[in-house]
Chains A and B, each alone.
Chain A
Amino acid sequence: MADKFRLPETDDGTILFNVPFPKDLKELKNMKPIIIKQPYQIDYIHSYAQDSPFFAGLANGKLLSTKCPECGYTYGTPRLHCMYCGSECDWFELPSEGFVHCFTVCHFGSEEFLPETPFTLILVEWPKVDTLFLARLVNIDPADANLDWIGMKVKAQFKRNSKFKPTDVYFVPA
């Protein structure tokens, strides 16, 4: 009875109905590699944790960051603990208008963002804020990219339907 048992065959996954094979096993060293497609997909349960107020702020049309109550260091991108004195920082609202510190126009990108190319990335600076903020700059012609964009006054705008990503805020020339 045992030799009659067969695992049921399925038609999912990789199927190659005929795999060429030599009679002489010595020939196997001349074999070309078998290359197959292996899909891999994951849904993470990602917590924004102590950064969450930033995303709640974006959903409410506010660009938030943090400031150290001990040493006064003011961050353009929030971090709950000051990198200079280790104290817990307080939240504050950044001004909606800032300036382009540097920029690029991406004509290629990571797979996730390829459909959005060309897109413009900027680091935003504000007077009296010690660090910068990474964002997209829109409503500007990517073909016009030039160094005079540095120093340009830009204004924060917010997506109405928040996606809970840092791109819920974006900048336009002010």
Chain B
Amino acid sequence: MQDVYVVSGGVSKFAKARPDVTFQAMVKEAYDYALQDIGMTFKQGVELVDGTVASYFSDHFLRQLKAGSMVHDYLGMAPKHNKRIEGGGATGGLCFQAAWESVASGRFDVCLAFGWETMSRVNTWKGNEFIALASDVNFDYPVGGFYSGYYAMMVTRHMKEYGTTVDQMALVSVKNHNNAYHNPYAQKRMKIKIEDVRNSEMVAWPLTMLDICTMSDGAAVMLFVNEKGLNKLEKALGGARLKPSKVTGVGGGMDAMRMSDRPHGKVPLLSHEKASDYKNLKYPGVHSFRSGRMASKAAYEMAGITDPLNQIDFIELHDAYTSSEIQTYEDMGLCKYGEGGGFVKSGAPFMPNLDYGYKFPKQGLIPVNPSGGLIACGHPVGATGLMQGVFAHWQLQGTIAHHFGDPALQIKNAKRGVIHSHAGTGTYVTVSILEKGF
């Protein structure tokens, strides 16, 4: 297996609607940015990229099949190899790992991963219907298929099991919106407080509009290389030294599509946990994402992480819901199962340098979603996981100030970041680990 590096990335500004561009042209915006950031021309891209992987979730939004091939040829990549990756909300994370696989295997020296979603093509409630079709259409969808409803059921059980509160969930929203205030790529840049979250419209009890990410149009791309690809690129760029990030861990997991099928068994332990930590816990039930735990475990083992809280500098975490961010702290072993609510209340996942209007005893211990996450950046499904990868790459390069035009979200001396991508009620989760590679 070969070492894999990320050398560049680009993100289109996420917006409610981009009727001014087709999906191909929207992806090209992100691709052009990634090229210019390392001084590469379009023609050099055509010469040097060996193949591409496309990331987009729903064929329904566009009513266009084979859309991945259409982007591929728009970017001048025909007749090279292309394939499409689809896995619900985790599509982007799965695409990241598919690009990693194609380079780690040596099949490609240079691989472009591109992703997008154009969710504005239908109204929001039709969009929710499309997304809910990613639940069992015999038993789940017809009962009132609505993903916010599914997550709300999961969190009422989390609240009952552990005493997690709506104010703790609201704190996640406060954190991510306030972070995004400094991120020009984000769709919703707002300084808000707990009461703003609780006073916004109720969507699925207890989740309000501000507990839930929005639908967006947007695109993101990442360029992956092995050593040979890195040398080829640097040579083509006249001997320039690139500032890559190294992919040091990948993990994935899934769980039964029907939440009703989730077992009530034992916790798969991370290396820093003991069976006695969870003597009476029935796991995962519907309160936890077993897939998130499996993905974290595999990625940590590959990257040699035995103490995630102290060995990770930041996480871009798939916060489609404030509740799922709290549940995921536990899956990723940042705290024990049941302690997610207290973890956010301690301030640990907040940025160390920003003023959120609250006092926290442990502010900034491990920033989660420094970019603002899905809740504030938006969630154009196929782009989301790659957007996280681009932001993580910029964090590790130390170039956030350059890309955001604002240094506030730069994590000082970031050496290791994690990106976490998640599909419908935890049916797919990927965890990928990036480290400073220069």
A35 to B17, CA, bound (A): 12
Q: Mark B134-158, 1 if CB is under 8 A from A, else 0.
A: 0001111011111011001110110
Interface residues in A45-88 (C-beta closer than 8 Å to B): 46, 48, 51, 75-77, 79, 83
Kindly identify which residue among B129, B204, B264 contacts A107, using a CB–CB cutoff of 8 Å. Answer: B204
Stretch from A2-10, A13-21, A115-123 that touches the partner: A115-123
Q: Any chain A CB within 8 A of the CB of B258? A: yes
Query: With A48-B138, A147-B160, A150-B156 as given contacts, are A109 and B286 in contact (CB-CB < 8 Å)?
Result: no
Q: Any chain B CB within 8 A of the CB of A157? A: no
Q: Any chain B CB within 8 A of the CB of A172? A: no
Q: Mark B187-221, 1 if CB is under 8 A from A, else 0.
A: 00000000000000111111100000000000000
Query: With A113-B145, A136-B144, A167-B143 as given contacts, are A108 and B204 in contact (CB-CB < 8 Å)?
Result: yes
Q: Flag if A106 contacts B259 (CB, 8 Å).
A: no
Instruction: Using CB atoms, name the residue of chain A closest to B122.
Output: A111
Report the minimum CB–CB distance from A171 to chain B (whole Å): 11
Kindly identify which residue among B63, B160, B202, B259 contacts A132, using a CB–CB cutoff of 8 Å. Answer: B259
Interface size class of B (residues with CB under 8 A): 35 or more
Query: With A113-B146, A134-B260, A136-B143 as given contacts, are A108 and B203 in contact (CB-CB < 8 Å)?
Result: yes
Q: Any chain A CB within 8 A of the CB of B125? A: yes
Report the minimum CB–CB distance from B409 to chain A (whole Å): 31
Interfacial chain A residues near B306, Cβ < 8 Å: none
Q: Mark A93-125, 1 if CB is under 8 A from B, else 0.
A: 000000001111111111111101001011100
Query: With A33-B20, A104-B205 as given contacts, are A132 and B125 in contact (CB-CB < 8 Å)?
Result: no
Q: Any chain A CB within 8 A of the CB of B256? A: yes
Interfacial chain B residues near A83, Cβ < 8 Å: 256, 261
Query: With A101-B157, A132-B286, A150-B157 as given contacts, are A106 and B143 in contact (CB-CB < 8 Å)?
Result: no
Interfacial chain A residues near B260, Cβ < 8 Å: 76-77, 123, 131-134
Query: With A102-B154, A132-B286 as given contacts, are A107 and B144 in contact (CB-CB < 8 Å)?
Result: no
Q: Flag if A112 contacts B129 (CB, 8 Å).
A: yes
A150 to B158, CA, bound (A): 11
Q: Flag if B138 contacts A166 (CB, 8 Å).
A: yes
A136 to B142, CA, bound (A): 10
Kindly identify which residue among B146, B148, B153 contacts A103, using a CB–CB cutoff of 8 Å. Answer: B153
Report the minimum CB–CB distance from B99 to chain A (whole Å): 31
Q: Flag if A104 contacts B129 (CB, 8 Å).
A: no
Interface residues in B255-284 (C-beta closer than 8 Å to A): 256, 258-264
A75 to B333, CA, bound (A): 30
Interface residues in A130-151 (C-beta closer than 8 Å to B): 130-136, 142, 145, 147, 150
Q: Flag if A108 contacts B146 (CB, 8 Å).
A: yes
Q: Flag if A114 contacts B160 (CB, 8 Å).
A: no
Q: Any chain B CB within 8 A of the CB of A38? A: yes
A111 to B263, CA, bound (A): 31
Report the minimum CB–CB distance from A106 to chain B (whole Å): 5
Interfacial chain A residues near B140, Cβ < 8 Å: 134, 166
Q: Mark B32-73, 1 if CB is under 8 A from A, else 0.
A: 000000000000000000000000000000010000000000
Interfacial chain A residues near B261, Cβ < 8 Å: 75, 77, 79, 83, 131
Kindly identify which residue among B123, B144, B152 contacts A119, using a CB–CB cutoff of 8 Å. Answer: B144
Q: Any chain B CB within 8 A of the CB of A160? A: no
Interfacial chain A residues near B203, Cβ < 8 Å: 106-108
Kindly identify which residue among B125, B153, B262 contacts A110, using a CB–CB cutoff of 8 Å. Answer: B125
Interface residues in B270-308 (C-beta closer than 8 Å to A): 286
Instruction: Using CB atoms, name the residue of chain A closest to B209.
Output: A108
Q: Any chain B CB within 8 A of the CB of A159? A: no
Interface residues in B92-146 (C-beta closer than 8 Å to A): 123, 125-126, 128-129, 132, 137-140, 142-146
Can you list 16 A-B pairs with a CB-CB distance of less than 8 A? A32-B20, A35-B19, A48-B138, A102-B157, A104-B204, A104-B205, A106-B144, A108-B203, A110-B144, A110-B145, A110-B146, A114-B125, A131-B260, A132-B259, A145-B206, A167-B143
Q: Which chain A residues have a beta carbon within 8 Å of chain B's beta carbons? A: 32-33, 35, 38, 40, 46, 48, 51, 75-77, 79, 83, 101-114, 116, 119, 121-123, 130-136, 142, 145, 147, 150, 165-167
Give me 14 other A-B pairs in contact (C-beta within 8 A), A33-B20, A106-B204, A121-B149 excluded.
Answer: A51-B138, A79-B261, A103-B156, A104-B152, A105-B202, A107-B203, A107-B204, A110-B144, A111-B126, A113-B146, A121-B153, A134-B258, A134-B260, A165-B142
Question: Which are the 6 A-B pairs with shortest beta-carbon distances?
Answer: A104-B152, A110-B129, A102-B157, A132-B260, A111-B125, A105-B205
